[in-house]
Amino acid sequence: MLDMKEFRERKERQAELQRAADLKGIDFTVAALVAADEERRALLMEAERLRQSRNKHTEEISRIMREGRKDQAEAVKQQVKMINERLVLIEEQLRGAETEWTRLMLLAPNTVSPDTPEGRSDEDNVEVKKAGEPPAFGFDPKDHVELGELHGLLDIPRGVKTAGTRNYYLTGNGVLLHRAVQQLALDLLVKKGFILYDVPLMVRTEAMNNTAFFPLGQDQTFRIDGEDKWLAGTSEVSLVSYYGGEIVDVTEPLRLAAASLCFRSEIGSAGRDVRGLYRVHQFAKVEQVVLCEADTEVSERLHQEITANAEELLQLLQLPYRIMAVCTGDMSQKTYKQYDIETWMPSRGAYGETHSSSNLLDFQARRSNIRYRDKDGKLQYCHTLNNTAVASPRILIPLLENHQQEDGSITIPKALRPYLNGLERLTV
């Protein structure tokens, strides 16, 4: 959400915004917003002028009536009637102008950081770090579906039978692995000072708008029929909305985390990643959300911190990964700077995205109206950040595939064993 005063006064800000929209591929023009803003403000001024005039004439009628000049009072009443008719028309125009202005404001993107690479798609993302080496198998490795079926960890055909495409069952040790990676992530975050929340999975349209998942992400979201509620695709929505409309204390950054079910419609992904657990409608995610003061150096430091938390989780899982600086064309409307973490998936012969880490500056807090008092007591909007600590079952793909052995067994990383009653290996 824009600071409209700054937007009006600084022409360079308008150029920045148009550049961000163009680079992100958002159908938005600054000229249209400027025109809508000018029309809205002009109509507001006209409506206020008419109300003042009406009030003045109403007072005049009372005075004239007390003086017994009824004929003059009737003439002024006619003037008031004409003002009211004009005001009704102006207020109707104002409602339309405000609707258009709000629509454009909700489409306006966040700007992008100076170090964000330019590009049109994920193919233009830039590798900034690589950790670990992909395993060199001396045998033909199985993919996660074959391994899952071999060990009774999943059942995709019955998932499709029950719920349609991109659905699945996890079974037996598959469920335990799924829960183990989440608990490992939660325990890691608690040690780092995060407060845990169990959050609503159904949220109102207002919450989706305020966190900038709507209007552009509406086609990715499942709606509850007949209600103003949606199934959230990430607990980020609920975690940020927790403080919506409030004044908070960010003397120390607020670190929030949640493990929740998430739902995405995957519109536009027909034919992509149809095999296995990579792209599904329902999954679980441990999310990090941070609120801090409006200082770019502070939020940049925290961006590196939450990204490092996800890295630490992958290191505990003994998985090779790389960090990608996400380019402008692959970023969402709300994002100022973003890293994706991709983990090596042998069945793909490539790295696959498993984590996303974003700095939003004050874009989300403005829409959600989350503020704090600075050292001078002045109200400022917070910066917000978010990161996937782990998402499952997608993380099970590299976990199973990278740790498989020639005999079909799967080694359990040491960090997970305490969550699996000491189990060291899955055997056939």
Going from the C-alpha of 167 to that of each of 161, 221, 260, 261, the distances in angstroms are 9, 16, 17, 14
Question: Which DSSP state fits 247?
Answer: B
Q: Please list, in sequence order, all residues whose beta carbon lies within 8 angstroms of the beta carbon of residue 251, skipping any fewer than 6 positions away.
A: none
Q: How many domains would you assign to the chain?
A: 2
> In angstroms, rounded to a whole number, what is the distance separating the alpha carbons of residues 112 and 140?
44
Q: Are residues 33 and 59 in the same domain?
A: yes
Going from the C-alpha of 354 to that of each of 65, 147, 323, 395, 397, the distances in angstroms are 77, 19, 10, 7, 10
Q: Is residue 113 part of a domain?
A: no
Angle separating helix axes 70-107 and 30-66, nearest 10 degrees: 160
Q: Is residue 309 part of a domain?
A: yes
- H-assigned helices in 282-423: 296-316, 363-368, 396-402
Q: Sign of the CA dihedral 292, 294, 298, 300?
A: positive
Element (H, E) at 86: helix 70-107
In 308-360, the DSSP E strands lie at 321-325, 337-345, 350-359
Q: Are residues 201 and 229 in the same domain?
A: yes
Comparing C-alpha atoms, which of 366, 339, 291, 294 is closest to residue 105?
366
Comparing C-alpha atoms, which of 214, 239, 414 is closest to residue 316?
414
Tokens 């060199």, located at residue: 136
The active-site residue, picked from 40, 166, 255, 264, is 264
CATH of the domain at 384: 3.30.930.10
Q: What is the β-pairing status of strands 282-292 and 254-263?
A: antiparallel
The active-site residue, picked from 235, 332, 356, 357, is 356
341 in Cβ contact with 307 (< 8 Å):
yes
- H-assigned helices in 164-231: 173-191, 205-210
Q: Is residue 116 part of a domain?
A: no
Q: Are residues 289 and 254 in the same domain?
A: yes
Q: Is 103 a catalytic residue?
A: no
Radius of gyration of the chain (CA): 27
Q: Is 353 a catalytic residue?
A: yes
Q: Is 394 a catalytic residue?
A: yes
Q: Please list, in sequence order, all residues whose beta carbon lies within 8 angstroms of the beta carbon of residue 255, skipping any fewer than 6 positions away.
A: 189, 192, 193, 194, 195, 288, 289, 290
Question: What's residue 359's pLDDT?
Answer: 98
Q: Which domain holds residue 215?
A: 122-426
Q: Please list, in sequence order, all residues whose beta carbon lies within 8 angstroms of the beta carbon of residue 180, skipping any fewer than 6 positions away.
A: 416, 419, 420
Going from the C-alpha of 340 to that of each of 108, 306, 331, the distances in angstroms are 23, 12, 10
Q: Is residue 112 part of a domain?
A: no
Tokens 């003059």, located at residue: 72
Question: Which DSSP state fits 122?
Answer: G
Q: Is 425 a catalytic residue?
A: no
The active-site residue, picked from 40, 54, 366, 394, is 394
Q: Is residue 267 part of a domain?
A: yes
Q: Residue 154 — φ and ψ, nearest 5°?
A: -150, 160
Q: Are residues 239 and 375 in the same domain?
A: yes
Q: Are residues 126 and 70 in the same domain?
A: no
CATH of the domain at 10: 1.10.287.40
Task: Classify burial at 26, counting beta carbons within 10 Å of its beta carbon; exposed 0-12, middle 13-18, buried 19 or more.
Answer: middle
Query: Which of 48, 75, 107 delimits the end of a domain?
Result: 107
> In angstroms, rounded to a whole number, what is the distance separating the alpha carbons of residues 41 and 97?
9
Q: Helix (H, G, I), strand (E, B), or coil: what is residue 185?
A: helix
Q: Are residues 146 and 86 in the same domain?
A: no
Query: Which of 60, 77, 107 delimits the end of a domain?
Result: 107
Q: Are residues 333 and 211 in the same domain?
A: yes
129 in Cβ contact with 123 (< 8 Å):
no
pTM confidence score? 0.93
Each residue's pLDDT, cut to its tens digit, for the chain (428 residues) gives 677 888 888 888 899 999 999 999 999 999 999 999 999 999 999 999 999 999 888 888 777 777 777 768 778 788 889 999 999 999 999 999 999 999 999 999 999 999 999 999 999 999 999 999 999 999 999 999 999 999 999 999 999 999 999 999 999 999 999 999 999 999 999 999 999 999 999 999 999 999 999 999 999 999 999 999 999 999 999 999 999 999 999 999 999 999 999 999 987 776 677 789 999 999 999 999 999 999 999 999 999 999 999 999 999 999 999 999 999 999 999 999 999 999 999 999 999 999 999 999 999 999 999 999 999 999 999 999 999 999 999 999 999 999 999 999 999 999 999 999 999 999 98
Q: Are residues 202 and 145 in the same domain?
A: yes
Q: Residue 336 — φ and ψ, nearest 5°?
A: -90, -45
Q: Is residue 114 part of a domain?
A: no
Q: Residue 379 — φ and ψ, nearest 5°?
A: -75, 130
Q: Is residue 117 part of a domain?
A: no
Q: What is the β-pairing status of strands 230-231 and 169-170?
A: unpaired
> In angstroms, rounded to a whole number, what is the distance separating the alpha carbons of residues 6 and 268?
37
Question: Which DSSP state fits 111?
Answer: P
Q: Is 356 a catalytic residue?
A: yes
Q: Are residues 32 and 169 in the same domain?
A: no
Q: Are residues 178 and 286 in the same domain?
A: yes
Question: What's residue 270's pLDDT?
Answer: 65
Q: How many CB atoms lie within 10 A of CB 311?
A: 18
Q: Are residues 96 and 139 in the same domain?
A: no
Q: Please list, in sequence order, all residues whose beta carbon lies within 8 angstroms of the beta carbon of residue 101, skipping any fewer than 6 positions away.
A: 33, 36, 37, 39, 40
Query: Which of 107, 130, 165 delimits the end of a domain?
Result: 107
> In angstroms, rounded to a whole number, what is the distance separating the alpha carbons of residues 174 and 354?
18
54 in Cβ contact with 39 (< 8 Å):
no
The active-site residue, picked from 300, 342, 353, 401, is 353
Q: Is residue 115 part of a domain?
A: no
The active-site residue, picked from 19, 204, 279, 322, is 279
Q: Are residues 73 and 160 in the same domain?
A: no
Q: How many CB atoms lie within 10 A of CB 115?
A: 10
Question: What's residue 1's pLDDT?
Answer: 67
